[in-house]
Each structure stands twice: as structure tokens, then as C-alpha cells.
Structure 1
Amino acid sequence: MIVYIAYPTSLNLQSANALQTFTTLRELRARRPDTLALIPRWGNEPSRFFEVGVVHLPRPAIGKLSRLYKSTLLYYLEHSAFAAMTATVVALHRHHVQAVYIRQPIIAAWWAGVFGPRLGLPVIYEAHDLESRNPSRAKEPWARGLLDLIDRTALCRSSAVVSLTDNFRRLLAQIEWRDPAEVAVIPDAYDEQVFLPQDRAACRRGLGLPADAPIVAYAGMTFAHRWLDGLLSAIRRLRAIYPTLIGIIIGGRPGERAALAAHALSEGLRVAETTAMPADLYLLPPRPQPEVVSCLGAANVLVIPDTVTDVTASPLKLFEYMALGLPIVLPAIPALYEILPSHLAYSFTRRDLNGLQAALTAALAERDPALATERQRLAAEHTYGRRAERIIALVEQVAQRTL
């Protein structure tokens, strides 16, 4: 049995980590039906995770107290309480468990340092970055030592570590926290059931968009740290060269979209929230993935203005964009080149507006269909099915090592 423990931020798949967790579990349970997946749920909150056979444990919602006292430490307490709850459940099955796979740092630290050794179970930690570099980390000065303890315990005492990138794997070796042989690189993935090459003309007809206008598109669940204001400035500049150019941004919270709309208006762009109205920029609210695919399929170029992380950068949208085959503009970050080689992308120096404009211009001029085919071929190596198979292979390897 594989035990998979996660703490998705949305049970209705309105966040990237929830989508990744859901689709990974869908493919994992298709291959290993004995997988025991444990996630929290607050009261009778609706959850898509029932569809993949997840066991919901009551969410110890200590973090909600942050409305009274704003501190990430309250969420650390919440995650710690949930870790103890999962240990109680797993203890009942411990003789059948091959390994406990965890993708949340606080829970991983408790399991690697306490519960795993007590129950005699190997722990695999899927690290998405150091907690000490998390933008949402505890900011209290005295908590710096706690952050280091969390990182060291989760990363150094787990039986194995999963990294999204080889860059992060090398970092762990450089700081002498982990032997590279004990770190498996398992990148993010895309849902091959949803993200397929599209007919651009058909997508535009369905959305009511002009047939011939150049379109630049971005899709993301949140706009924080993504430099979308830079993208808006680049779109305004490009319209001097391509007067009919249209920008499409899909996703984000209402407040973030309002801030982007204000910035777009300051750039002199006409803004709309529906493609039923003529506009220079469409700021579309979150929508189901099939509708996102249609919006992206209508574009000439897909863009990643920036990433939240650096050495661990492995955004879901990169894999989804690749599956569509369209030209991709992205910052020159080595972790991204691990997935998409530089000759298949149009890159720019991070946060360089002139560079972003030049990259978008070059991408709009792409005419070689072989590049699209090559992007799709590379994407096919990163489906969620392949990701699940890599996880299973690692679990079996770790379980064999601990016999």
C-alpha cells in the first residue's frame, strides 16, 4: 500500500497544487488501487477528491484564527495537528504500507522526524522548495530557526526526496543536505485527457474572437509574483507594431483581476471580462479546464511572464502549453530549460520589459510546424500517467531498500 498525504488549498480544484494533487491521485489509483490518500476537509465542504477515492479527515482549521492574529505560524500548527491525525490512521495499516508519500513541508517534517521512525515506515518527501524561501512562510524574526528545522528535518531525515527539478537536486547536494542518489527528479505534468492540440479558427469562432488578430494568452490560478503587469506593458508596446493584437489572461482572484484592469487602463488598453465585448485585453475569471484550453487554443503565442520560484520552477502551465504545441515565451530560468530546451522557446532576461517584448515579437513570427510537433513530443513524456509511474517506481525502490 502507498500512503499519499497532501494538503490541497482548494477541494474544488481552484488552485494549481489542488489540480496537481487530484490528477496525480487519479493516475496513481488507476495503477495502484490500494493507494490510501489522506487530505483534510472542513465540515461538509464540497470536494472533487471524492472522485479519486480520497479519505477526508476533519480539517483542524487552526489557520482560520489568522483572521484575528495574522501569522503563518497558525497554519504550521494546523498542519502539525493534521500530521498527527494521519499518523493515527496510518498506524492501523502500518503492516501493509510500503511508504508514506508527502507533498507538504510541515507534515513531511513531522513524518520524517517522528511518525515515520516510530511506525517503522519509510517517508518520501516531494519538495517544491525550501520552506525558508516560501513567500508565505512565517515572517516572525524568531521563527527563522524553526524554518531551518522544518527544512532540515523534512529533507535530511526522509527516506528519499522527490524534486521537481534537477536544479533543486543539485542545490541539496551543494549545501550537503542530501546525496543526489537519494533525490529523484519527478517534474510536474499535464492532463493529457484535457490538453490536446486545438483548431485555432474553431476556438476563435466559439469565443467570438477576430479570425486574423494576433493573440497572446496566459492562464494561471493566481497572479501573485507572476509579473503580469510587465506582460500588460509589453502588450501595449506591441500594439504599436500589431494594432489589432489582443491579450487574454485567464484566472486569478477578483481583487487581482481588478488591479490588473486598473493597470491595463493606465496603459491605455480597453479591458473586458467577456469575449462577447470588443477589447484589447480580456481578463477572464477562472473557468473549467476545457474552456481554458479553448482560450489558449485561440492564441498565437502563450506566455509565462515569471515564476514564483527559481531553482524549483516547474509550473503546470509550461506542460499544458507544450501539449498545445504553440510558441511559448518564458523567462530564461535554467529549471524551465530542463523541460523545454531553449531552441523550442522564446526567452528573455527575467523582469526585462524590452526582452519580453522582443521575445513576444519573435514568437509571433514563428512559422515552422516542426517546432510545434517537437513541443508536443516532449510534453508526452510528462503526462500525469507517466508521473504516477515514476512515483510508484520510487516507492518500490525505497520499500525494497528498507526491507
Structure 2
Amino acid sequence: MIVYIAYPTSLNLQSANALQTFTTLRELRARRPDTLALIPRWGFEPSRFQELNVVHLPRPAIGKLSRLYKSTLLYYLEHSVFAAMTAAFVAPQRRQVEAVYIRQPIIAAWWAGCFGPQLGIPVIYEAHDLESRNPSRAKERWARGLLDLIDRTALCRATAVASLTNDFRCLLSQIGWRDPADVAVIPDAYDEQIFTPQDRAQCRAELGLPPDLPIVAYAGMTFAHRWLDGLLSALRSLKTTYPTLTGLILGGRPGERAALTAHAVSEGFRVADTTTTPADLYILPPRPQVDVVRCLGAADVLVIPDTVTDVTASPLKLFEYLALGLPLVLPAIPALHEIVPPHLAYSFPRRNLTGLQEALSAALNERDPALATARRVVAADHTYGRRAERILALVDRVRATA
């Protein structure tokens, strides 16, 4: 039996980490029905994870106290309590457990440094970055040592580490924390049940968009740290060459959309929040994935203006974009090019406005249909099914060396 422990930020899949957790678990359970998933839940709030027969343990919602005292440390305490709850739940079954797989740093630190050794269970930590570089980390000055302790314990004492990128695996080796042989690269993925090549004309007809506009699209759960203001500046400058150029931005929190809309209006864009209203920039609220794929399928070019991280950059949208086969514009970050060969994307120096403009222009002029096929071939190796198989292979390797 494999125990999978996660702390998704949305039980209804309204965040990227929740989507990744849900779909990874779906594919793991399809291959290993005995997988035991432990997920927290506050009270009886609705949860899509019930579809996967996960075990919902009560969420020790200590982090809610941050409304009174704003500090990430309260969430660290919450995650610590939940880690102890998972250990108490697993302990009676420990002889049946092959490995515990964890994708949350605080919980991973507790399991790697304490509960795993005590129970005699191998611990695999899926690292998404160093906690000390997390934009939402504890900001108290005295907590810097705690952040280092969390990172060192989770990454150095886990039986094995799963990294989203080879770039991060190399970093762990360079700083002397892990032998590369103990780190498996398991990138993010896309849901092949949803993200398939689309008919552009049909997508535009269903959305009420004109058939002949050049459209550049972006989709993301949140806009923070994604340099969307840079994208707007690039689109505005390109209008001298492409007068009917239209931007389509999908997702983001309400406050983020409001701020981006105000910025776009100040830049001279005609903005709408529905595709049935004439505009040259659409800023649309989040939609179900089946609707997201239609919006993306209506575009000529898909863009990633920037990523939150660098050596661990493995955004879900990268794989979803690839699956559609459309021209792809992205920053020249080595971690992204681990997945996308340079000749299949239009890259630009990070946060370089001129570079972004040139990359968008080149992508809008792509004419070789073989490139779309090649992108879909790359994507095919990064389905959630393949991701689950990579996780199971790592578990088998850990068992063989235990």
C-alpha cells in the first residue's frame, strides 16, 4: 500500500496544486487501487476528492487565526498538527505501507525527520521548491533558521526526493544536500481526458468570437508574479503591426482581475469580461477546465509571460498548451526547456519586453503544421497517467533499496 499525503488549497479544484493532486491521485488509484490518500477537510465542506475515495481527516484550521494575527507560522503549526494526525492514522497499518509520498514541505519534514523513521516507513518528498524561497513563507526575521531547518530536514532526510525539474535536482547536488541518484525527476502533467487538439473555428463560434482576429491567450489560476502587465504592454505595441490583435486572459482572483482590468483600461484597451462583447482584450473569470480548453483552442498563440519559480518551474499550463499544439511563447528558463525543445517554442529573455514582442510576432507568423504535431508528441509523454507511472517506479526503486 502507498500512502499519499497532500494539503490541497481547494477541495473543489480551484487551485493548480489541487488540480495536480486530484488528477495524480486519480491515475495512481487507477493503477494501484490500494493507494491510501489522506487529505484534510474543514467540517463537511464539499470536496471533489470524495470521488477518489480519499480519507478526509479533520483539518486543524489553526491557519484561520491569521485573520487576527497575520503570519504564515500559524499555517506551519496547522500543517504540523496534521502531520501528527496522519502518523497516528497510518501507525496501525505500518507493516502494509510500502512508502509515504508527500507533497507538502512541513508535513514532509515531520515525516522525514520523525514519523517515518519511528514507524519504519520510507518517505518520498515531492519538492516544488525550497520553502525558504516560497513567496508565502514565514516573513519573521527570526524564522529564517526555521525555514532552513524545514528544507534541510525534508530534502536531506527523506528516503528519496521527487523533483519537478532536473534543474532543481542539479541545485540540490550543487549545495550538497542530495545525491542526484536519490532524486527522481517527475514533471507536472496535463489531463489527456480534457486537453486535446481543438478546431479553432468551432471554438470561436461557440464563444462568439470573430473568425479572423489574431488572438493571443493566457490561462492561469492566479495572476500573481506572472508578469501580465508586461504581456499587456507587448500586445499594445504589436497593434501597430496587427491592428486587430486581441488578448484573451482567463482566470485569476477577483481582485487580480479588477486590478488588471484597471491597468488595461489606462493603457487604452477596450476590455470585456465576456467574449460576446466586442473588445480587444478579454479578461475572463475562472471556468471549468472543459471551458478553458475551448478558450485556449480559439487562440492563434498561447503565452506564458513568466513563472513564479525558476529552477522548479513546471506550470500545468505548459503541458496543457503543448497538448493543443498551438504556437507557444515562453521565457527562456532552462527548467521550461527541459520539457519544450527550443525549436518548438518562441522564447524570450525573462521580463524583456522587446524580446516578448518579437517572440509573439514570430509565433503569430508560424506556418509549419509539423510544429503542432511535434508539440503534441512531446505532450504525450507528460499525461497524468505517465506521471503516476513515474511515481510508482520511484516507489518500486525505494522498496528495492530499503
- TM-score exceeds 0.5: yes
The alpha carbon displacement at 1:39 in A equals 0.7
Q: Deviations 1:203-256 (Å, cap 9, x if unpaired)? A: 000001010100000000001100001111111111121111110001010000
1:58 aligned partner: 58
Please list, as runs of the form range in 1=range in 2, the aligned pairs for 1:218-297 lying within 5 A after superposition: 218-297=218-297
1:377: which partner in 2?
A: 377
Q: Distance in 2 between matches of 1:215 and 1:53?
A: 41
Distance in 2 (CA, whole Å) between partners of 1:273 and 1:55 is: 39
Aligned-pair CA distance for 1:354: 0.8
Matches of 2:67 and 2:314, distance apart in 1: 31
Structure 1 residue 397: deviation in Å? 1.1
Provide the secondary structure at the position in 1 that maps to 2:136. coil
- 2:37 corresponds to which residue? 37
1:109 matches 2:109: yes
How many correspondences in the alignment?
402
Distance 2:357 2:264 in 1: 16
Percentage of matched positions with identical amino acids: 82
Structure 2 gap ranges (5+) = none
**Which residue does the alignment assign to 1:401?**
401
CA shift at 1:53, angstroms?
1.3
Distance in 2, Cα, partners of 1:53 & 1:134? 31
Q: How does 1:309-328 map to 2 (within 5 A)?
A: 309-328=309-328
- 1:110 Cα offset (Å): 0.1
Q: Which residues in structure 2 correspond to 1:23-34 (within 5 Å)?
A: 23-34=23-34
Superimposed CA distance per residue, residues 18-42 of structure 1 (whole angstroms, 9 cap, x where no aligned partner): 0000000000000000000001001
Classify the secondary structure of the residue corresponding to 1:92: helix
| 1:198 aligned onto 2:205 | no
Within 5 Å, which residues of 2 pair with 1:204-219?
A: 204-219=204-219
Partner Cα distance (1:224, 1:53) in 2:
33
SS of the aligned residue for 1:236 comes to helix
- C-alpha separation in 2, matches of 1:18 and 1:363: 31
Counterpart of 1:167, as a letter, is D
One-letter code aligned to 1:138: A
| Partner of residue 165, structure 1 | 165
Q: CA deviation at 1:371?
A: 0.3
TM-score w.r.t. length of structure 2:
1.00
Secondary structure at the counterpart of residue 56 of structure 2 = strand
User: How far off is 1:93 after superposition?
Assistant: 1.0
Partner of 1:335: 335
Q: What is the alpha-carbon root mean square deviation over aligned residues?
A: 0.5
Q: Secondary structure at the match of 2:230?
A: helix
Task: Kindly report which structure 2 residues correspond to 1:386-397, keeping only aligned pairs within 5 A, or say none.
Answer: 386-397=386-397
Ranges in structure 1 where 5+ consecutive residues have no aligned partner: none
Whole-angstrom distance in 2 between the partners of 1:400 and 1:78 = 34
| Amino acid paired to 1:209 | L
Separation (CA, whole Å) in 1 of partners of 2:280 and 2:266: 13
The separation in 2 between residues aligned to 1:242 and 1:175, in whole angstroms, is 47
Deviations 1:251-300 (A, max 9, x none): 01000000000110011000000011001111100000010000000000
Give, in whole Å, the separation in 1 of the partners of 2:344 and 2:178.
32
1:400 Cα deviation from its structure 2 partner: 1.9
1:100 and 2:100 aligned: yes
SS across alignment from 1:197: coil
Paired amino acid for 2:274: T
Alignment partners' CA distance in 2, 1:124 and 1:184: 10
- Partner residue in 1 for 2:141: 141
Q: For each residue in 1:39-75, what CA deviation from the matched residue of structure 2 results, as whole angstroms up to 9, or x when unmatched?
A: 1001111000001111100000000000000000000
Following TM superposition, by how much is the alpha carbon of 1:399 offset from its aligned partner in structure 2, in angstroms? 1.4
Give the aligned residue type for 1:61.
A
